[in-house]
Amino acid sequence: MSGPDNRFTIEALVLAFSPPEVPTERPTAEMMQVADRISRHWTSTEVGAWRPGSEIHKREVCRMFRETFNPYRPSAIDWPELTPQELHGVTSLPIWDIAVQTEGKARLRFAAYANSMADPEMRAAIMLNAWEENRHKEVLSKLVTAYGIPLAAEPAYRSPSDVEWSYLVTGYSECIDSFFAFGLFELARQSGFFPMELVETFEPVVQEECRHILLFANWLAWHRANLPWWRRLRFELRVAAVWLFIAWERVGLARSIDAEGNGNGRDSNFTVTGAQAVSPVEIRFRDLIMLCLRENDRRFAGYDRRLARPTTIPWLARLVLWITRPWTQDGRRPRVQSESRG
């Protein structure tokens, strides 16, 4: 079933989902530090290698996702006071409408796919992912209220008619957007474009996207390994079609159609919009790509090496760096700093 009625059913599933424990009291700075550390480090207690797609692989992926859950509450966030200049920088970013709508769609698409799954462990993990997307939407709603950012009316979210297609499009899109968001977020931190308190407030959301694409990459590996060859062939054709769709969407050819046929293709340019948003900071294209790669490696470094990682976008980024090497023999050092942080 698709359409508005089903959307309410899917939304209700997200809201009714019980995440791992969320404390009711206001967290102390120490509690937040502990939660942050737990969310970015996880090693399985299983000894030895595991086969992608095996029961152990699935169990450990789902355990990783549960155990790295960060129990922050959007309503308990203290939004830092900004100077007039900082406030102007934050409120004039042209990304807030798109960010809210992207989270609004993602929670429904993930929940719809989770709801279609037979495996209870994987279903719970992907439903938790949907719940966290809904929490991102809440965080953004609190932020725009705190800083008086006007938002356009949200479109009517539709439930996906093809849940696997929508899940794949959203999952792969998150892999692309997160890769660039990691670098842009670090760039905004280094440049002071975002004040430090706001960077710290948003940090759990950015790391959560890292966990999401880690889950997606491992779901893919698990799902692929358990398909008989004829369904695997169909699935790979579908994955190829998803990449083509995303590429088509992102070069702006799909302005009037998205995964559900909505008449709003603005979300397809989220990464470009984000890059323009931090354009006051002078950085060369190759330096930005290198920063994205470094941040990508840093954010994934704390998770068990046996878990699959998203590989396509980092591979493409390295390919772009290799292809553009001849244009960089000017002896200038990159302007972005290289820092090792937790």
Residues that bind Fe ion (CB under 5 A): 103, 133, 136, 209, 212
CB of 60 or CB of 103, closer to Fe ion: 103
Tell me the H-state helices in the chain.
4-16, 29-40, 55-67, 84-91, 96-116, 120-146, 163-191, 196-225, 229-250, 270-277, 285-300, 312-323
Shortest Cβ contact with Fe ion: which residue? 212
What backbone torsions phi and psi does residue 170 show, to the nearest 5 degrees?
-70, -40
CB of 105 or CB of 136, closer to Fe ion: 136
Structural contact between residues 317 and 286, judged by C-beta atoms closer than 8 angstroms: no
Q: What's the closest the beta carbon of residue 103 comes to Fe ion, in angstroms? A: 5
Q: What's the closest the beta carbon of residue 170 comes to Fe ion, in angstroms? A: 8
Structural contact between residues 189 and 165, judged by C-beta atoms closer than 8 angstroms: no
CB of 103 or CB of 260, closer to Fe ion: 103
CA-wise closest residue to 72 among 95, 38, 102:
38
What is the rounded radius of gyration, in angstroms, for the C-alpha atoms of the chain? 20
CB of 57 or CB of 136, closer to Fe ion: 136
Q: What's the closest the beta carbon of residue 167 comes to Fe ion, in angstroms? A: 12
CB of 181 or CB of 283, closer to Fe ion: 181
Structural tokens at position 137: 């939407």
Structural contact between residues 336 and 287, judged by C-beta atoms closer than 8 angstroms: yes
CB of 212 or CB of 223, closer to Fe ion: 212
Q: What's the closest the beta carbon of residue 329 comes to Fe ion, in angstroms? A: 39
CB of 105 or CB of 212, closer to Fe ion: 212
Print burial letters for 12-37: b (CB count within 10 Å at least 16), e (below 16).
ebbeeeeeeeeeeeebeeeebeebbe
How many Cβ atoms from other residues are within 10 Å of residue 342's Cβ? 10
What backbone torsions phi and psi does residue 87 show, to the nearest 5 degrees?
-60, -40
Q: What's the closest the beta carbon of residue 1 comes to Fe ion, in angstroms? A: 25
Q: What's the closest the beta carbon of residue 111 comes to Fe ion, in angstroms? A: 12
Q: What's the closest the beta carbon of residue 326 comes to Fe ion, in angstroms? A: 37
Q: What's the closest the beta carbon of residue 215 comes to Fe ion, in angstroms? A: 9
CB of 103 or CB of 186, closer to Fe ion: 103
- The answer to whether the Cα torsion of 93, 98, 104, 107 is positive or negative is negative
